[in-house]
């Protein structure tokens, strides 16, 4: 029975991948972690209970370590950087009084780099837990 369930899950994942759907990917770091998910082939996002300033500071710090920050707009909540040759755009968007969305988009030319977006997201979440 267990092998049948595994085959069913793998089949569903394969069908979704072949249909052009973006598989759901969750990142959890630590006990009180913020989960994230892939919203397109180049964008990874999640919602946090941290303030816009806390998220922006953490993202800016992580990007300055991982690569080079090209431009940033604290008031607008945008950071533009290059990480290993990949153009990364970080958006920090207030959702409500107690929630803020962190959206990370990564592209190299016209090609999406979801793994880079996911890696940056995970490191920002780790930075927030320090």
Q: Which helix (H) or strand (E) holds 111?
A: strand 111-112
Plot region of 129 (φ>0 → left; ψ -120 to 50 → alpha; else → beta)? alpha
User: 22-128: which CATH topology?
Assistant: Alpha-D-Glucose-1,6-Bisphosphate; Chain A, domain 4 (3.30.530)
CA dihedral sign, ordered 39, 44, 47, 51: negative
For 16-40, write each residue's pLDDT tens digit.
444 444 444 433 333 334 567 777 8
pLDDT at residue 12 greater than cutoff 70? no
Query: Which pLDDT score is estimated for 59?
Result: 94
User: Where do the domains of the chain lie?
Assistant: 22-128
For 55-75, write each residue's pLDDT tens digit.
999 999 999 999 999 999 999
Query: Which pLDDT score is estimated for 103?
Result: 95
Q: How far apart are CA 119 and CA 130, in angstroms?
A: 17
Instruction: Quote the pTM value.
Output: 0.72
Q: What is the DSSP string of the chain?
A: -HHHHHHHHHHHHHHHHHTTPPPP-----STTPPP-EE-SSSEEEEEESS-HHHHHHHHHHHHHHHSEEEEEETTTTEEEEEETTEEEEEEEEE-SSS-EEEEEEEEETTEE-HHHHHHHHHHHHHHHT-
For 73-106, write each residue's pLDDT tens digit.
999 999 999 999 999 999 999 998 889 999 999 9
Query: Which pLDDT score is estimated for 37?
Result: 73
């Amino acid at each position: 029975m267990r092998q049948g369930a595994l085959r069913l899950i793998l089949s569903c994942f394969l069908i979704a991948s072949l249909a052009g759907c973006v598989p759901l990917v969750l990142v959890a770091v630590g006990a009180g972690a913020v989960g994230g998910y892939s919203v397109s082939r180049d964008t990874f996002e999640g919602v946090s209970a941290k303030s816009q300033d806390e998220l922006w500071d953490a993202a800016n710090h992580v990007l300055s370590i991982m690569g080079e920050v090209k431009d940033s707009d604290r008031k607008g909540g945008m950071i533009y950087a290059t990480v290993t040759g990949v153009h990364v755009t970080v958006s920090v968007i207030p959702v409500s009084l107690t929630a803020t969305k962190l959206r990370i988009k990564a592209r190299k030319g016209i090609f999406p780099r979801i793994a880079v977006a996911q890696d940056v997201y995970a490191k920002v979440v780790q930075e927030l837990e320090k």
